[in-house]
């Protein structure tokens, strides 16, 4: 399957400061990719480079297979972009604004009406076409911002903080809309709201100090960042015997026969290998479950260096 976005070795310098360094990743159809990181991690610079609003200092970007640097107009035809502050004109009606945006995206004149109508239906704006944007609620204005990003039916949509300032009901509506978009396109979602990523995204990237610090699917059950396993033994030995396993860092007894195993720092040991050791010890292994770290725990450990906290 061809990626909708491919970045290779991206760097961005501001004078001597490197905001993004050696960033490479891909986005495929049907994915909603969560882009996370603390303030100053390089998220906005990354999105602006992908959107073609900021030139990379080094590296390459392809949008739907088209090189953004060598053929920017053709590449940007595959992209819809909602910045953190939507580029809205409050003095225009919703219809006027979307027709204007469709023309900017080179939608053919004979397809304008259908394109605007489809975007309004998709974003729940069918009943507010004649209303001034400035008179709409914040939630509806965000919908208009998303509508302008998809009015030309792009294959890729970038959404930068799309739910900032919304109330809980509006947030739920925008999340549902993003899920709908992700079923048909590739979506990059940048946000500081971790539950939002867990609710919407199929994959997550965490940037830290301009570098890609973590990348994982949110659909996988086995989270390698945890290094922890919950086990149940029918013939449990003394705690020291379990702790003597070569890869073991620490063992907690949770109840009779139940234990939490934590691998030693820096040790790589597959679940299958650890199961094999436990079976060979003849302790009656009855249950073995990788213990997941929550996304918030992973984020804090990566961005603050709290690797050794329980």
How much of the chain is in helix, strand and coil states, percent to nearest 5?
A: 35, 30, 40
pLDDT exceeds cutoff 90 at 301: no
d(CA 65, CA 46): 18
Q: Is the pTM here over 0.85, yes or no?
A: no
Q: How far is CA 90 from CA 96, 133, 251, in A?
A: 11, 5, 61
Could you tell me if 22 and 203 are in contact, meaning their C-beta atoms sit under 8 angstroms apart? no
> Which residue range forms the structural domain that includes residue 213?
5-78+154-217
> Domain check: are 133 and 251 in the same one?
no
- Tell me, yes or no, whether 302 lies in a domain: no
Q: Domain boundary residue among 184, 217, 250?
A: 217
> Domain check: are 159 and 47 in the same one?
yes
Average pLDDT over residues 195-210: 90
pLDDT exceeds cutoff 60 at 68: yes
pLDDT exceeds cutoff 50 at 25: yes
- Tell me, yes or no, whether 103 lies in a domain: yes
- Tell me, yes or no, whether 21 lies in a domain: yes
Average pLDDT over residues 128-142: 95
Average pLDDT over residues 211-238: 75
d(CA 67, CA 51): 12
- Tell me, yes or no, whether 54 lies in a domain: yes
Which tokens hold the place of 263? 């691998």
> Domain check: are 9 and 74 in the same one?
yes
Element (H, E) at 80: strand 79-82
pLDDT exceeds cutoff 50 at 231: yes
d(CA 194, CA 5): 23
Which pLDDT does position 260 carry in this prediction? Answer: 84
Report, in angstroms and rounded to the nearest whole number, the Rg of the chain calculated over CA atoms.
Answer: 24
- Tell me, yes or no, whether 213 lies in a domain: yes
- Tell me, yes or no, whether 121 lies in a domain: yes
Q: Predicted confidence band at 292 (pLDDT cuts at 50, 70, 90)?
A: low
- Tell me, yes or no, whether 299 lies in a domain: no
Which pLDDT does position 66 carry in this prediction? Answer: 96
pLDDT exceeds cutoff 50 at 224: no
d(CA 279, CA 275): 6
d(CA 49, CA 246): 46
User: Residues 32-54: pLDDT tens digits?
Assistant: 999 999 988 999 999 999 999 99
pLDDT exceeds cutoff 60 at 248: yes
d(CA 279, CA 260): 16
Ramachandran quadrant class, 4 (left: phi over 0; alpha: psi -120 to 50; beta: rest):
alpha
> Domain check: are 48 and 188 in the same one?
yes
pLDDT exceeds cutoff 50 at 307: no
Is pLDDT larger for residue 27 or for residue 306? Answer: 27
Average pLDDT over residues 143-169: 92
Is pLDDT larger for residue 225 or for residue 214? Answer: 214
* Mean pLDDT over the full length of the chain: 89
């Amino acid at each position: 399957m061809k990626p909708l976005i491919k970045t290779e070795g991206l760097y961005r310098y501001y004078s001597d400061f490197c905001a993004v360094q050696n960033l490479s990743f891909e986005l495929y159809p049907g994915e909603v990719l969560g882009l996370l990181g603390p303030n100053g991690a390089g998220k906005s610079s990354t999105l602006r480079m992908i959107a073609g609003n900021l030139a990379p200092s080094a590296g390459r970007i392809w949008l739907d297979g088209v090189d953004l640097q060598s053929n920017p107009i053709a590449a940007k035809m595959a992209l819809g972009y909602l910045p953190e502050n939507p580029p809205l004109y409050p003095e225009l009606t919703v219809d006027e604004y979307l027709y204007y945006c469709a023309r900017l995206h080179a939608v053919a004149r004979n397809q304008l009406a259908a394109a605007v109508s489809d975007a309004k239906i998709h974003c729940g704006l069918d009943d507010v076409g004649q209303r001034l944007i400035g008179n709409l609620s914040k939630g509806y204005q965000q919908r208009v911002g998303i509508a302008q990003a998809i009015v030309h039916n792009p294959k890729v949509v970038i959404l930068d903080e799309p739910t900032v300032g919304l109330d809980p009901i509006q947030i739920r509506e925008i999340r549902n809309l993003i899920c709908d978009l992700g079923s048909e396109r590739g979506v990059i979602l940048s946000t500081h709201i971790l539950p939002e990523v867990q609710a919407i995204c199929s994959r997550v990237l965490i940037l830290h100090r301009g570098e890609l610090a973590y990348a994982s699917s949110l659909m996988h059950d086995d989270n390698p960042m945890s290094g922890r396993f919950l086990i149940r033994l029918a013939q449990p030995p003394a705690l020291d015997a379990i702790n003597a396993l070569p890869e073991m860092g620490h063992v907690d007894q949770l109840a009779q026969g139940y234990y939490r195993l934590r691998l030693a720092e820096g040790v790589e040991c597959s679940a299958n290998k650890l199961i094999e050791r436990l079976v060979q010890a003849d302790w009656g292994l009855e249950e073995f479950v990788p213990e997941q770290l929550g996304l918030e725990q992973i984020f804090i450990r990566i961005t603050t260096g709290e690797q050794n906290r329980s």
